[in-house]
Amino acid sequence: MKPNLVMYNILVDAMCKSRNHKAARKLFSELFVQGLQRDVQIDDTIINGLCKEGLLDEALEAFRKMEEDGCPPNEWSYNVIIRGFLRHRDESRAVQLIGEMRDRGFVADAGTTAW
């Protein structure tokens, strides 16, 4: 059975939860080798894992790369990274991202800041 995007997302999530971000990123890279197209969900999984570990600069870099790679972040993506910054007490970057989120037409609500 050829791996699909759902299988990759499950594996990437498991790697992130086990704090093995290097392996998670390697699996992510394999998507393209397998001819699969990424989706927002797998990016959000990696960003969430990085945020939980306090790797906020790496999380923001992955978040910004989504747009560059033609997979723009959605409302959930913004919620994931904003919550990560709030969880680690980086309110200034969270506020900046909330403004960016609103500028893009997404709604920042109580769920955005609930971490």
Q: What is the pLDDT of residue 72?
A: 95
Instruction: Tell me the two tokens of residue 48.
Output: 């969430």
Q: What was the pLDDT predicted at 110?
A: 83
Closest CA to 55 of 23, 90, 30: 90
Q: What is the pLDDT of residue 115?
A: 65
Residue 64 has pLDDT above 90, yes or no: yes
The Cα–Cα gap between 90 and 56 comes to 9
* pLDDT score at 21: 83
Structural domain harbouring 20: 5-113
The pLDDT of residue 25 is 84
Summarize the chain as % helix, strand, coil (round to 5). Answer: 70, 0, 30
Given a cut of 90, whether residue 103 has pLDDT beyond it is yes
The reply to whether the predicted model has a pTM over 0.85 is yes
Q: What's the CATH code of the domain at 31?
A: 1.25.40.10
Total domains in the fold of the chain: 1
pLDDT of residue 91 exceeding 90:
yes
